[in-house]
Amino acid sequence: MPKQLGLLLVLALGAFSSSLAQTTTTKPKKAEQDAANTAKAAESRTADALRAYTPTNTGSDSGGEERNYYTFNHRYNGMSGTPFLVAGWRKGEVHLDHNQVVRNVSLKYDLYRHGLLALQPNGDSIIVGLDRVQEFVIHDTHVTNAGSFVEDHRFRRYADAPEAKFSREHFEVLSEGSYATLLKLTRKELQRANQESAYGSTQVQDVMLDKAEYFVRNADGHIRAFKLNRKALVAALPEHAAEVQEAMTKYGQPVQKEADVIRVVAILNSTAPAGSK
């Protein structure tokens, strides 16, 4: 084989190998980019639906117009309680992944079925996919004799939680700071009415009951459950056990209720050095 022809053949094979290597390394990158684009597109549709109130309901009324509604067994004297965080619609905001924020939307949080609903102007509602929601806030207005005030209920998902079982939960954030973030998970449980119990008493209503669990998230992102008492709170934050004890001493009251723990965690975080993790 002439030397020139051999050299051309070697160059051609080299170019082919280089092209093949580029194709092999490019395909995974392209697949990753396609997946990211698909996720962003799906999220944009969710954001557009919230902003434009696109109907995505199921079921229909007598006129054929689609409706979305929940039913409960209102036996006997009906049902006591509500499946929602707050019984009525409240203004709020929804933070989607990739930093999209939808503000000033009417929301309801269904704690029985773990679903977030947004209200349409025509009275229908859409169900927001919580798997795409990083955080949402519900502004609850309270009216008292002294006036009115707004209580913000902020719910956040910690997708990067070391404990995988918590990565899909939306915790209510009660207090946060450098040392610890106080979290709450509330569920609703339906206790069915019965005509007569084994003891002869009668429960004539279905009752929606609250079931709350409390957690602390430390600076490293670990989330630990605890009961509402002094010993359990210290055990949940072993890296700051001395500081927790000091905070409870400063508080000077029994630690038995949610309000007590909120105050203790706030005192604890106030003692953290500036810039501490």
* In the predicted structure, residue 144 carries a pLDDT above the cut 90: no
* 1 found inside a domain: no
pTM score, whole prediction? 0.71
* 169 found inside a domain: yes
Phi, psi dihedral angles at 215 (to 5 degrees)? -145, 155
Largest alpha-carbon pair distance within the chain? 107
Percentage above 70 pLDDT, the chain: 69
3-12, 73-82, 132-141, 180-189: which has the minimum mean pLDDT? Answer: 3-12
Average pLDDT (89-112) is: 93
Residue range of the domain that includes 105 = 53-270
Distance CA 198, CA 195 (A): 10
pLDDT (tens digit per residue) in 181-190: 999 999 999 8
Q: What integer pLDDT is reported at residue 16 of this predicted model?
A: 39
Distance CA 197, CA 203 (A): 8
pLDDT (tens digit per residue) in 26-71: 556 777 777 667 666 655 655 555 554 333 333 333 333 333 333 3
* 112 found inside a domain: yes
CA distances from residue 82 to 154, 187, 240 in whole angstroms, order as listed: 19, 11, 38
* 35 found inside a domain: no
* 264 found inside a domain: yes
Distance CA 18, CA 6 (A): 18
* 195 found inside a domain: yes
Q: How many domains does the chain have?
A: 1
* 45 found inside a domain: no
* 98 found inside a domain: yes
pLDDT (tens digit per residue) in 248-266: 999 999 999 999 999 999 9
